Amino acid sequence: MSTQQLTGRADEFFRALQRRDASYEGIFVVGVKTTGIFCRPTCSARKPLRANVEFFPSAHEALYAGFRPCLRCKPMHAGREVPPLVEELRRQVEEALSEPLRDRDLMRKGIDPSTARRQFQRYFGMSFHAYQRARRMGSALAAVRKGTKLLDTQLAHGFESSSGFREAFAKLFGTVPSKANGVHCLFARWIETPLGAILVLANDSGLYVLDWVDRRGLEREILRLRHKTKFAIVPGDHLLLDQANREIGEYFRGTRAAFSLPFAPRGTEFQRRVWGALLEIPPGETRSYAEIARRIGAPKAVRAVARANGDNFRGIVIPCHRVIGSDGSLTGYGGGLPRKKWLLEHERSMMSAAAPAQVLKASMGGIVRRG
């Protein structure tokens, strides 16, 4: 069930939360905005006001929305008592959100990284590194999600310390929003979709990033982009963010098959050739990596094409999800293969429907190849 589908049943879920209805276990978790904590439907804590809750289909999405798991109802609990190692590492993550613990740090503490990975996987359903990445990214993305006007409220609630939140945000994005005046900026927005949240980064030069907030490698790409452009990245308003929000919404409603967003200049000459070839794949169709390599005149560069495809970070808009293996298998999508499958089926359905010709013509007519 998607986040948007949950929103449509929010009143039903709030009633289930009020009566602590165990039949809704596994259907949703609830985030409490005033505390920054997410809980099971059956949590025994005092029930929040309706205006202060938000529902998520999984703990994973709640983490990336900036909420941390409740210590009372343990919404990530796998049915067993928390192992001491898991609890200790969870505590250390919360105390230093901006400083990830790497394998060498674990070894200095006398902890076998593979043991930490296995225990977190068994207990939380994700590895230790995936958990701390979700908490760190979630803490920083929370400000993007809420916008600058709500930043002070976000800092005041929901984190072990406001300084930890500020450090996590500044480390990832280069500044805190309150100090962004006079700094060259990329503006960020969080967009909800039926498949999860998307992060968009843009400025007057065009679109830099449009990708899933939980996409592996996104944090590294943001840091690389910051280093290369020297721009700070802050929540804010921009016409391109409005346009991205509108066009992504139209795409998921099935009324837009391609996009008219301008792309900021980025990438190597080879990457730009690959991305240009991706834009030529019609909606509802696929091409193999080998076909893309031949299309750009580099038939032996199949692996390089795959790397450039993965380095796109403007997914959906530059349709890297339309590239498949030579045997027809779905491979190599940063947002995960279930999303890739859904997007391809959505586009095939869109193109096979008896949509008015002018809708498709308008949708296809504005592709801009600047990046």
Tracing tokens 């498709």 back to the chain, one arrives at 360
Phi, psi (deg, nearest 5) at residue 324: -130, 175
Instruction: Provide the phi-psi class of 175: left if phi over 0, else alpha when psi is between -120 and 50, else beta.
Output: beta
Q: Identify the CA nearest to 164 among candidates 115, 256, 99.
A: 99
Q: Is 70 a catalytic residue?
A: no
For residue 53, the Cα-to-chain-centroid distance in whole angstroms is: 21
Active site residue 185: no
Residue environment code for 130-164, b if the CB has 16+ CB neighbours within 10 A, otherwise e: bbbbbbbbbbbbbbbbbbbeebeebbebbbbeeeb
Give me the amino acid identity at 149: K
User: Tokens at residue 279, please?
Assistant: 């834009």
One DSSP character per residue, 1-14 reads: --HHHHHHTHHHHH
Rg (CA), the chain: 21
- What token pair was written down for 330? 């779905």
Catalytic hit among 39, 70, 73, 185? 39
The residue from 43, 70, 73, 320 that is catalytic is 320
Residues annotated catalytic, as ranges: 39, 320
